[in-house]
Amino acid sequence: MKKIFYMVVALLFIQHSSVAQENNSGIRELGVNLSGSTFGISYKTGNKNTPFRLTLLSLVGSSSNYKSPPNNEHKNNSQGIGFNFGLEKRKLISDDLNIYYGSDLLTSYQRNVNKDDYESHSQTYTTLSFSPGLGLFLGFAYEISSKINISAEIMPSISYSFAKTSTNNDGAISKTTSRVLNYGLRTNGVNLTLSFNLGK
């Protein structure tokens, strides 16, 4: 699975480089997107008709610490990041409306550590998860002005999730792994993006 992932990444960069050499009319767009209840930041650059795109979907972290009678303590720390990158192809429908389509590589990583200290013993659970995938998107973009446009897209996708959990129970360590294949239309539904042109 890792070899296929790296091969697709290499092909995307090769394609982007060759397209950029064919046409010097470049763009730089910074956008804010909303997908369900999730906010993200997107950046597009390169060829005007076939830009490279990077979307930061999530950058999260949390930490909690609480105690319970008589002398029990519970700690949790979690960090994660999710981002997509790929290429899109634009087709002009009218002066201010275009349709676009393409593919994104989907990636997410998360680390979670949960520690329970009891009077008689302690337990620590550490989970690392990584999920690569491929999404195919189709959308419409409307140019509000020369500097601002709004777009909406849907993305059917397939992803592979791998997670490894290590349990430390008073020095006795055990490890488990899980693998899950997900596919279909993304549950967040339509992705809406408000973009700003950073070019001249």
CA neighbours within 13 Å on the CB side: how many for 57? Answer: 18
Per residue of the chain (200 residues), give pLDDT as tens: 445 455 544 544 544 444 444 444 688 999 998 876 677 899 999 988 999 999 988 777 888 888 888 888 899 999 999 989 999 999 999 989 999 999 999 999 999 999 988 878 889 999 999 999 999 999 999 999 989 999 999 988 899 999 999 999 888 889 999 999 988 765 556 889 999 998 76
Q: How far apart are CA 88 and CA 151, in angstroms?
A: 13
Out of 2.20.200, 2.40.160, 3.30.60, 3.30.160, select the CATH number for domain 2-197: 2.40.160
Q: How far apart are CA 25 and CA 31, in angstroms?
A: 20
